[in-house]
Every structure is written in C-alpha cells, then in structure tokens.
Structure 1
Amino acid sequence: MFRAIAVLFLTFPMTAWALVPPDYQEPPSDFTAEIEAGFQLNTGNTDSSSFNGRTKLVYDTKQTKQEATFKAYFASDDEKTTSEKYDIQLQSNYKLQSDWGGYVFGRGDFTSDRFGSYTQISTVSTGYGFDAISDIDTKLSLEIGPGYRYNMPIETEAEPDPEANADVIIRTAIKFEQKLQEYTSLNADLTAEAGEDNSTLTLDMNYKNTLFQDWAFKIGVNVKYTDVVPEGTKQTDTITTFNLLYTFQ
C-alpha cells in the first residue's frame, strides 16, 4: 500500500512538469483594469477628511480599443462638505490598418461638480488619432476632432438663475507615457477644447512607483484652466492626489 502511494506521489509531479514547463506564463489578456483610492483624515485643531477614487477599464483587441474611466473626489470639514466631484470618461477606438497606427474614435466626457465654476459639463467628440511613438518604454499619441460641449454654470449672487451654454468645439489631445525605470513610470495627458464661447486646457499628469507585484503608489496632479467662468469663481482648478493603486488583468 505504501509503495503504491509513493509511486503515485512521484509520478504525478513528473507528469505535471511535463504538461506545464517551469517557464510557462499565462497568455496576455485583452482586458486590464486599474483601481486606486486615497483617503486623508485630520483631527485636533482641524477636523477634516477627504477621499478620492479612480477606476479605469480597458479592453484592447487587434481591431478596437474600449476605455472607461470613473473618478470621484470628496472633501469635508467638521461643519460641511467642501468638495464633491464625479467624472466619467468613455472612449472607443477603431484601429486603421496603417503604418502610423492610426485610429478613429468616439468619446464622451461627463462631469458633475457641486462646487465648481460649472456644475455640469458634458462633452461628446469624434475624430482621428495616431501613435507618433510606440515602443517598450515610450508611447505618444495625438488626437484631433470636432465635438459638442454643454456647460451649466454655478449659481452666484450676480447670476442666481444661470443659463446653460452649448458650444461646438475642436478637441486636441496629447497622450504621453514614459517608463523611467523597471518599476517607475510617468504619464501625462494634455487636452485642449477650443470653442466660440469658451475654451479649456487640461493637464492630467501622474507618477507611478510599483511597490510589489500589482500594487503601486501613485502621485497625480490634475490642472484645468477655463477661459470664461462665472463671476466670483476662479479660472484654474487643481487637484493633487496620493493614492494606492492595484492593477489586474
């Protein structure tokens, strides 16, 4: 009996090694996702808390690429909420068979910002993009195309019942990714929306350092400049985040 068990014990690992070689790796997946969050709590002289979270889903195949990004920002002190903002970004690319790695895209950007100069912003756009640089360490993509933007200004004392603004725009975007070292990378997206009534410029930049396996520490900065804003509000909004990020595929 003992001999039979020993034979099975020795035979099974040898069979497993034959079927699954030691250097075997799972085939790459078309689907990847990133989930990140950061939280800050202050007590003592000042009682305040803040939270931000981001989820990004990417489905990339030979012919198409689908991206969805969801962001949330919230802050409050011991008396009231001081910041509450939600972003949704959706983009669908159809890849063209060209040496430039070109693609046509459709995109939607939707923002709800309780304390922003504009409380609701909806932008839909389409156009053409291509990969100017695409290698292991560096990626650079350029996009341009027409779009339509809807803005709802915040209520102010001078304008207690504001009217929404609708504008045809031209959207241009630069998307840059640079691998600095084996475990660090830098990403920067610069987007300009030029319209007859208003124009915006947005820089979304982050530095990521992998801690272990799929976990990373991420520092992000988002700066948005709006040319025309309601009276009493500022043209530039800046958000800085310090988050823990998990990537899976």
Structure 2
Amino acid sequence: MIKQALALTLLALAAHSQASDAEKTPPFWGGAAELGSITTSGNTETSSLNGKFALWRKGIDWDTNYRLEALTSEEDGTVSKETYYGSVQFDRNFGEHSYLAIHADQERARFSGFTYQSTVSIGYGYRVIELDTMKLDLEAGPGYNRDKLENSGEIKDQGIARLVLKYGWKINKGTVFTQTASAEMGGDNSTYKSETGLKSQINGSLATKLTYKIKYVDQVPEENKNLDKEFGVTLVYSF
C-alpha cells in the first residue's frame, strides 16, 4: 500500500513541468519527492522501501518547511524495520541573516523500543553563509521532548537544549552535497542525528540521491541499540 501511494505521488508530480526562474521570487512554493526500493533474492530474500516528501514555502517574513518520511524493510517475508517520521518548521525572518526557528517533529519506529519520540523547540537561527553555491545555517534554543516506551507504555518527558546545523554545497551545476546535524540534549536523555546527502541531477527535475543517516540515543530500553544507521539510494523529483 505504501509503495503504491508513493509511486503514484511521484508519477503525479512528474506530470508537472518545473517552475521557471521568474516564479522563484518570494513568496513561492517548492518541494521534492523521493522513492527508493531494493529487493534481493537467494539464500535470503529482502526488500526495502524508502520514501520521502518535502514541501516548503519561501516567504518575505515567514519560511515554512514540511517533511514526511517512510522506511520499511522485510526479510524472508517478516518485517524487520518500519519507521515513519514527520516534521514542520516555521522560520520568522528578522533580516538577511537572523530568524526565529519554531520546530516540531515526531518519529514512530518499530523495534526501536519507543512507540514514538517527539520534540518541539523554539530557537534563534543565523544564516552564516548565504550564497548561490553554498549555505550554512545554525540554530540553537530550548525545547521539550516527549517519548513513549513501547513495552511499558510509560511516558518520559523533559526539557532540552536543541542545536542544529544545516549545510548545502552546490559542487557544480548538477551535483549538490548536503549535511544536517542536530543535538537534543536533556538531563535524562539526549539524541544526536546526522544526515549526509549527495544528489546528482539526471535532467531538469529528476536526480538520484545517496543518503547516509545516523541516530544515537543515550538511554534506550533494554535489548535495544543506542546507534541506528541507514543508507539509502533514491530517485528524486523536484518541483
């Protein structure tokens, strides 16, 4: 069902032509859809699906970013991993470099020991580099974290300090390198995330993307691992 929905979304987006440069004067909307699938057979049969959808609005005073992700993996017909993630961020621009970042996200991952992990935060953002070929944003501020344990149903919440780095480098006309990292540090638990991406353009709107993600949680339920790693290869349609 998820595979069909994501495939239909990608096909629907492909029916639209890419917006012209003249339409890129704020305010404007943009987005991207990603879909990747790997199947192996032999001694072990495995299949995985990785889908992402991002939508953003670049405004004069406010910028908005929405993000949805889904990952499922099966081994010999048994689900071995299933993760869903959603986030929204509103940036209130104060000038060319400074902004207020309002962020909320939630992750639901089977076999992680958590029913869900959610975060809300508000912080100060600064665009250290804002060039056509390179961008670097830094964000810092307080937040609130709420987790639900899968086995016991216990709710754990705490205040946190959230730090974020967002980096983008347009290496050449068709190749873009991205790096994002975040730290959510609390008195009882802390979470660290990193996502490295390399996107190579196929044509005006289609590209392939390699992504490597790391997530480390200081305190996890028994029999669960602190470190989670993910490597993905996806087809990207930008609009």
TM-score bin, normalised by smaller chain: 0.7 to 0.9
The aligned length equals 218
**Residue in structure 2 matching 1:132, options 121, 124, 128:** 128
Letter in 1 for 2:204: Q
Deviations 1:43-94 (A, max 9, x none): 2322221101000001001111000000000011223111111000100011
**Residue in 2 that maps onto 1:92:** 90
**Residue in structure 2 matching 1:56, options 47, 54, 59:** 54
**Residue in 1 that maps onto 2:201:** 210
CA distance in 1, matches of 2:103, 2:21: 35
SS of residue in 2 equivalent to 1:32: strand
CA distance in 2, matches of 1:199, 1:67: 24
**Residue in structure 1 matching 2:114, options 118, 129, 132:** 118
TM-score by length of 1: 0.84
Structure 2 gap ranges (5+): 1-19
Deviations 1:23-50 (A, max 9, x none): x964326111100010011123222211
2:100 matches 1:104? yes
**Residue in 1 that maps onto 2:12:** none
Q: Which runs of 4+ in 1 moved over 4 A?
A: none
Q: Percent identity between the aligned chains?
A: 29
Deviations 1:164-195 (A, max 9, x none): 21010000101100111111011001100010
**Residue in 2 that maps onto 1:171:** 162
SS of residue in 1 equivalent to 2:24: coil
SS of residue in 2 equivalent to 1:41: strand
**Residue in 2 that maps onto 1:237:** 228
**Residue in 2 that maps onto 1:194:** 185
Question: Is the radius of gyration larger for structure 1 or structure 2?
Answer: 1
CA distance in 2, matches of 1:166, 1:86: 20
CA contact (8 A) 1:145 1:172 kept: yes
Between 1:216-225 and 1:73-82, the stretch displaced more is 73-82
**1:4-83 map, 5 Å:** 26-28=22-24, 30-83=28-81
Letter in 2 for 1:74: T
CA distance in 2, matches of 1:235, 1:119: 16
Letter in 1 for 2:75: D
CA contact (8 A) 1:117 1:234 kept: no
**Residue in 1 that maps onto 2:218:** 227
CA distance in 1, matches of 2:51, 2:68: 8
CA contact (8 A) 1:71 1:86 kept: yes
CA distance in 1, matches of 2:22, 2:142: 41
**Residue in 1 that maps onto 2:5:** none
